[in-house]
């Protein structure tokens, strides 16, 4: 579809592939700007479906259902990158898809992602493609231990990845990662002795305008994001470099939408890119309560071709994810001063499942 830079008028329908909490919070932001959202997902019941009346249930490879969805909306975006790129391409023949499907294709695969960064002069951890067991031995000799073996696709929150302390761990790591995903080559990454993990969220509109949020620090527990602390306590030069990387990648990708870039800050203050996500990101949830424009509103603004909003932070804040039964403490959390609670409407609680988050605002010095 030919791209139009004209803004989508209020009342237009934004189609979102995926029905999770990111789609839910994006749909709420869209509603505030006067848009309707149409959620397409395989589940009959999903967090995003609860907040909008338009929805379709279908698999991501169900072409007739996808084409009917394309006809019912004015633009399509997605809330997670594991939508098959083939589905996004098929949709793009019928309707504008933002970000473009090629970005989805790139960002759903760690090898392509890192290759793209390095080709544009953006450093990552050293890595190698591991199509078979022999390649693992060769790469281990080159990269050295400790290192991390990961599936190149479909792994998240630490799923499908194993840290190796030495060559003796190679066979078990290989078996574990193949069990998680044997369809695509794995990736071996050098282990980064990081000082901290940060992320930057950048938005880019169809007219090429670009806005970044300041870097935030991400703290993980059991490979799952536990807390985001904003601002990140990093030297100004490091923060500037991280934002420059975000802007460069958004431009090189010809992004229209939102891109989250997870990075490591090493002890000698290098900034290495770990992962790209072309959508709203858990590490941007703080912006709902502590920024002039939330990441969800910014996402909708970019996808709809509206002017991008101010990304200024209003106060320091700490966002904490509520996993599993941690969300049962909602009454206590609501009673805390300067604390904003967000629950995602998930009916089934499982250990490790993201049920909501709280943002604690630091309103007083």
Helix, strand or coil, per DSSP, at residue 53? coil
Part of the chain binding ligand AMP (CB under 6 A), chosen from 23-31, 184-192, 294-302, 339-347: 184-192
Q: Among 23-31, 50-58, 188-196, 206-214, which window interacts with ligand AMP (CB under 6 A)?
A: 188-196
Which of these, 182, 176, 183, 188, lies nearest to 149 by C-alpha position? Answer: 188
Tokens 């290989």, residue?
174
Q: Which of residues 154-183 bind ligand AMP (CB under 6 A)?
A: 156, 158
Q: How far is the CB of 146 from ligand AMP (least distance, A)?
A: 8
Token pair for residue 143? Answer: 């990269």
Stretch that binds ligand AMP, among 55-63, 131-139, 190-198, 296-304 (CB under 6 A): 190-198
Could you give the CA distance from residue 141 to residue 291 in angstroms, rounded to a whole number? 46
Q: Decide: is 153 part of the binding site for ligand AMP (CB under 6 A).
A: no
**DSSP string for residues in 222-282:** TTEEEEEEES----HHHHHHHHHHHHHHHHHTT--EEEEEEEEEETT--EEEEEEESS--G
Query: Rounded to the nearest whole angstrom, what is the least distance from the CB of residue 84 to ligand AMP in the complex?
Result: 20
Closest approach, Cβ 168 to ligand AMP, in A, equals 20
Q: Which residues make beta-bridge pairs with 56?
A: 40
Residue closer to ligand AMP (CB basis): 199 or 212: 199
Nearest residue (CB) to ligand AMP, 148 versus 288: 148
- Of 177 and 256, CB closest to ligand AMP: 177
Regarding 220 and contact with ligand AMP (CB under 6 A), the answer is yes
16 vs 143, beta carbon nearer ligand AMP: 143
Q: Tell me how many residues contact ligand AMP (CB under 6 A).
A: 13
Dist. CA 272–CA 61, nearest whole Å: 34
- Residue choice 7, 50, 57, 191 for contact with ligand AMP (CB under 6 A): 191
Residue 25 backbone phi and psi in degrees, to 5: -70, -30
Tokens for 344? 């995602």
Of the two residues 223 and 350, which places its CB atom closer to ligand AMP in the complex? 223
- 265-294 binders of ligand AMP (CB under 6 A): 274-275
- Rule CB under 6 A: is residue 74 a binding residue for ligand AMP? no
148 binds ligand AMP (CB under 6 A): yes
- The interface mask with ligand AMP, positions 302-321, x = CB under 6 A, is --------------------
The distance of closest approach from Cβ of residue 12 to ligand AMP in the complex, given in angstroms and rounded to an integer, is 34
Q: Is 149 within 8 Å of 125 (Cβ atoms)?
A: no
Among residues 32, 133, 221, 223, the one that binds ligand AMP under rule CB under 6 A: 223
> Phi then psi for 50, rounded to 5 degrees?
-70, -20
Q: Which of 79, 81, 197, 243 binds ligand AMP (CB under 6 A)?
A: 197
Strand blocks (E) in the chain: 13-17, 36-41, 54-57, 75-78, 127-130, 147-151, 161-164, 186-190, 194-204, 210-212, 216-221, 224-230, 257-266, 271-277, 317-323, 339-343, 354-361
**Per-residue CA distances from 249 to 36, 116, 207, 309 (Å):** 30, 9, 16, 20
In the block, residue with structure tokens 């995926």: 18
| Shortest separation between residue 224's beta carbon and ligand AMP, angstroms | 8
Verify binding: residue 192, ligand AMP, rule CB under 6 A.
yes
Residue choice 85, 92, 125, 302 for contact with ligand AMP (CB under 6 A): 125
Q: Which residues bind ligand AMP (CB under 6 A)?
A: 125, 148, 156, 158, 189, 191-192, 197, 220, 223, 262, 274-275
């Amino acid at each position: 579809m030919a791209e139009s830079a004209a803004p989508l008028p209020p009342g237009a329908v934004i189609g979102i592939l995926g029905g999770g909490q990111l789609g839910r919070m994006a749909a709420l932001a869209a509603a505030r700007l006067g848009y309707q959202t149409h959620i397409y997902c395989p589940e009959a019941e999903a967090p995003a479906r609860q907040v909008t009346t338009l929805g379709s249930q279908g698999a991501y490879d169900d072409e007739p259902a996808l084409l009917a969805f394309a006809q019912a909306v004015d633009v399509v975006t997605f809330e997670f990158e594991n939508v098959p790129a083939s589905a996004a391409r098929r949709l793009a023949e019928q309707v504008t898809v933002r970000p473009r499907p090629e970005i989805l294709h790139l960002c759903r695969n760690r090898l392509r992602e890192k290759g793209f960064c390095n080709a544009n002069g953006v450093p990552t951890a050293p890595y190698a493609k591991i199509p078979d067991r022999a390649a693992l031995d060769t790469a281990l000799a080159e990269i050295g231990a400790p290192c991390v073996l990961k599936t190149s696709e479909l792994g998240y929150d630490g799923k499908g990845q194993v840290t190796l302390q030495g060559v003796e761990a190679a066979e078990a790591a290989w078996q574990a990662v193949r069990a998680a995903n044997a369809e695509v080559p794995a990736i071996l990454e050098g282990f980064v002795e990081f000082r901290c993990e940060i992320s930057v969220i950048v938005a880019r509109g169809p007219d090429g305008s670009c806005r970044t949020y300041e870097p935030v620090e991400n703290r993980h527990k059991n490979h799952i994001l536990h807390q985001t602390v904003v601002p990140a306590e990093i030297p100004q030069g490091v923060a500037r470099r991280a934002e420059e990387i975000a802007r460069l990648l958004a431009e090189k990708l010809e992004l229209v939408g939102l891109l989250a870039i997870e990075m490591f800050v090493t002890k000698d203050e290098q900034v290495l890119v770990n992962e790209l996500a072309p959508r709203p990101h858990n590490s941007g949830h703080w912006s709902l309560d502590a920024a002039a424009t939330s990441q969800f509103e910014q996402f909708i603004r970019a996808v709809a071709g509206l002017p991008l909003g101010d990304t200024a932070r209003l106060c320091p804040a700490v966002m904490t994810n509520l996993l599993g039964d941690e969300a049962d403490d909602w009454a206590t959390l609501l009673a805390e001063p300067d604390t904003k609670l967000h629950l995602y409407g998930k009916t089934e609680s499982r250990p490790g499942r993201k049920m909501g988050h709280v943002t604690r605002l630091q309103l007083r010095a």
